[in-house]
Amino acid sequence: MTALGNHIIVEYMGCIPEIMNDVSVIEEAMVTGAEIAGATVINSTFHHFSPYGVSGVVVIQESHLAIHTWPEYGYAAVDLFTCGEMDAWISFDHLKKVFGAKNYSALEMRRGALNLLNRVDFDMHSMREEAKKHVNPGKYTRNVWFTDKDDNQALSLRHTGEVLYDKDSDIQKVRVIDTYGYGKTLTIDNMFMCTETDEAHYHEMISHPAMLSHGNVKRALVIGGGDGGTIRELVKHPSLEKVDMVEIDANVVEASKLHLPTLSSAFDHPKVNLQIADGIKFVNDAAPGTYDLIIVDGSDPVGPAEGLFSAKFYEACKKALNDNGLLVTQGESPMFNHEVFAELNTCLKGIFGKDSVNTLLFHIPTYPSGIWSFQIASKGNINPTKVKEDLAGDFEKNNALKYYSSALHGAAFILPNYIKKMLNE
């Protein structure tokens, strides 16, 4: 041995972009690469940066393997630092194959040349005795993080590293991961959609304020909502006779049925008519006055959901409502998506009338900024901010609701001054 360690600095080029943006595949590849080279894995820590990039390190008994990727360039920068008998070139070959790299450059350096170092005398016996207290248990700690961010802020959740569901359709990528803090989590195109722990915040507030203020919804339409949480809440209301649910991607429904049973429990309910179809076309083709309530439970205004944030779509929704109908639509965050939030409010007021649109706020920890909104538009005389307290109170108790309450109903429509100013401008 002429040096304390061996350091291989690698640049992988021409890699598969989808893999370069896949934190779970990269973490598994790095861990496996270490193990097949003879290393003992102590810990792995990986972050996914939405929409692009993964950073991570695998700590091994023999030192470490580290990586950062730029998916948009098909590029990965990797450090393989080893001590002892481990052959890091085995790890190099494995990563090159997994990443699908077309080209690479690699620089190997000896670190800690012994002819330049002098050994220091110290109490080796006591150090060995202390080290016995920290024996590797044989099962390494995984520290894998999923991150949803924009240019200015981010939310990260630690998960097990396993991907329970992973399918791509022509329109989006659907995954289910298992987080430590919030349970199983549905993600679409690397954005959080819902978690087991706080999904009730969203689904109770998108459903019950409108249902209870209306008081007699018999026929409802849900656009999107493929996780099943919204229809689960709707069928709790005795007045409901039928709910049409139109989800564009069958993978979302399948993922929820397989891994999110507490959300997907109503898919087989006799009042539910599930259709895998384009919700925009469905509304355009709906007969005038068909529905008492329309709920637009879509994702952010990108990809297949982009058309759900247009005046043409909401005009079609208004036509499909009866003369005393309500429209509820996912309204984004006034902090995180303030432009879309304000533009949507203006759009709805232009279609339904200035005094016929109300904004409802609620708290949800796993959505960027923690505050989210629904916009409720009225076609008729129903005021969604008002509810009979005894009716709402009985419903709340009978269904053991987690978030909605009769007291919260009116309070949810009270807007902070900064939001009032934003909407007035």
pLDDT tens across 229-262, in order? 999 999 999 999 999 999 999 999 999 999 999 9
Question: Which residues line the annotated binding site for S-methyl-5'-thioadenosine?
Answer: 172, 247, 278-279, 304
Q: What is the pLDDT of residue 199?
A: 97
d(CA 56, CA 383): 51
Q: Give the DSSP per-residue string, 198-209.
A: THHHHHHHHHHH
Confirm whether 237 is a catalytic residue.
no
* 3-class DSSP state of 274: strand
Q: What are phi and psi of 358, to 5 degrees?
A: -125, 150
The pLDDT of 269-281, averaged and rounded, is 96
Position 321, amino acid: L
* pLDDT of 351 strictly over 80: yes
Q: Which of the following is catalytic: 44, 63, 333, 356? A: 63
pLDDT at 142: 83
Examine the pLDDT at 373 and tell me if it is beyond 70: yes
- Which of 378, 372, 382 has the alpha carbon at shortest distance from 403? 372
- Of all residues in the chain, the percent with pLDDT exceeding 90 is 73
**Where does the pLDDT of residue 155 fall: very low under 50, low under 70, confident under 90, or very high at 90 and above?**
confident
| pLDDT number for residue 125 | 63
Interatomic CA distance for residues 87 and 175, integer angstroms: 35
Tokens of residue 183, six digits: 């349970």
Known catalytic residue at 83: yes
Enter the pTM of the model. Answer: 0.81
**Is residue 55 over pLDDT 90?**
yes
Domain extent listing, the chain:
3-129+140-144, 199-424
CATH class of 199-424: alpha beta
The pLDDT tens digits of the residues spanning 178-189 come to: 999 999 999 998
pLDDT number for residue 304 = 47
Query: What is the reported pLDDT for 131?
Result: 56
- Top pLDDT among 121 and 177 is at 177
Q: Is the dihedral of CA 300, 304, 305, 309 positive or negative?
A: positive
Q: Which of 7, 64, 83, 338 is catalytic?
A: 83
Q: Cis omega before residue 238 (within 30°)?
A: no
What confidence category does residue 265 fall into, taking pLDDT thresholds of 50, 70 and 90? very high
Q: Tell me what the pLDDT averaged over the chain comes to.
A: 91
CATH, range 3-129+140-144: 3.60.90.10
Q: What is the pLDDT of residue 1?
A: 60
Do 190 and 50 form a contact (C-beta atoms < 8 A)?
yes
Top-confidence residue, 187 or 51: 187
Q: Give the per-residue pLDDT at 291.
A: 98
Q: Do domains 3-129+140-144 and 199-424 have the same CATH topology?
A: no
Please identify which residue in the block is written with the tokens 């904004």. Answer: 359
Q: Residue 337: pLDDT band by 50, 70, 90 thresholds?
A: confident
Active site residue 134: no
27-41, 61-75, 302-316, 362-376, range with the lowest pLDDT: 302-316
Give the whole-angstrom CA distance, residue 287 versus residue 320.
Answer: 6
Would the CA dihedral through 292, 297, 300, 301 be positive or negative? Answer: negative
Q: Which residues does 349 contact at the CB level (< 8 Å), separation at least 6?
A: 356, 357
Taking residue 267's Cβ as centre, other Cβ atoms within 10 Å add up to 16
- Mean per-residue pLDDT for 293-317? 78
Name the catalytic one among 7, 64, 68, 338.
68
| 194 has a pLDDT exceeding 60 | yes
Residue ranges for the known binding site are 172, 203, 227, 247, 278-279, 304
Reply yes or no on whether 189 is catalytic.
no
**pLDDT tens sequence across 111-141:** 888 888 888 776 656 656 665 555 555 566 7
Residue 322 has pLDDT above 90, yes or no: yes
Q: What is the reported pLDDT for 321? A: 98
Return binding residues for spermidine: 203, 227
Ramachandran bin of 313, using left for φ above 0, alpha for ψ from -120 to 50, beta for the remaining angles: alpha
> Is 210 within 8 Å of 328 (Cβ atoms)?
yes
Query: Average of pLDDT values for 278-301?
Result: 92
pLDDT of residue 303: 46
pLDDT for 208: 98
